[in-house]
Amino acid sequence: MPVRQIRHRGLSIGQISERTGLAPSAIRFYEEEGLVSPFRTDGGQRQYERADIRRLSFVMIAQQLGYPIKEIQQSLEKLPENRTPTKADWARLSKGFRKDLDAKITQMQALRDKLDGCIGCGCLSLSACKLYNPKDRIHKKGAGPRFLMGDTLDED
């Protein structure tokens, strides 16, 4: 994204770094990827809008959740460029993530609740496997840890 020329004062990359916990190099990387767009003051200083803290925080968390940069970029394109995004703008953006996040939450809850038991992965290494996945019957549903993926054994 090109650096804009604006007259008001914003935050320096150091201040943004301090508040977000992101290294300046990471902020510059996100800038190169077009995820955040600083402006220059009349004095030529590179500055960021206060709303960029939220924007960068979103990027950071989305990345931690495993979303690729390209997908994050596409989501951020839904926010307005010439004004601070409002709650409604962010709500529009979050709509696209909701279904996927719900699926991730369900999977994480299953992981939390079932990790110490049989997960239906085919290893048959726990005594509980004999009870919950006798003879690896869950494999009929496909590859992977089927119980963590939401499958259950059909009643015979």
**Residues lying near ligand FES in the complex (CB under 6 A):** 118-126, 129, 133
Q: Shortest gap between Cβ of 124 and ligand FES (angstroms)?
A: 5
Do residues 76 and 93 touch, judged by C-beta distance below 8 A? yes
Residue 51 or 110 having the CB closest to ligand FES: 110
* DSSP 3-state of 5: strand
Q: Shortest gap between Cβ of 128 and ligand FES (angstroms)?
A: 7
Residue 10 or 145 having the CB closest to ligand FES: 145
Residue 105 or 123 having the CB closest to ligand FES: 123
Residue 101 or 128 having the CB closest to ligand FES: 128
- Best CA proximity match to 107, nearest among 116, 119, 125: 119
Q: Shortest gap between Cβ of 116 and ligand FES (angstroms)?
A: 10
Residues in Cβ contact with 104 at an 8 Å cutoff, skipping those fewer than 6 apart = 65
Q: Give the span between the Cα atoms of 11 and 118, in whole angstroms.
A: 51
Do residues 128 and 115 touch, judged by C-beta distance below 8 A? no
Q: List residues bridging with 46 in a β-sheet.
A: 40
Residue 11 or 110 having the CB closest to ligand FES: 110
Q: Shortest gap between Cβ of 70 and ligand FES (angstroms)?
A: 34
Q: Shortest gap between Cβ of 108 and ligand FES (angstroms)?
A: 18
Q: Give the span between the Cα atoms of 19 and 50, in whole angstroms.
A: 10
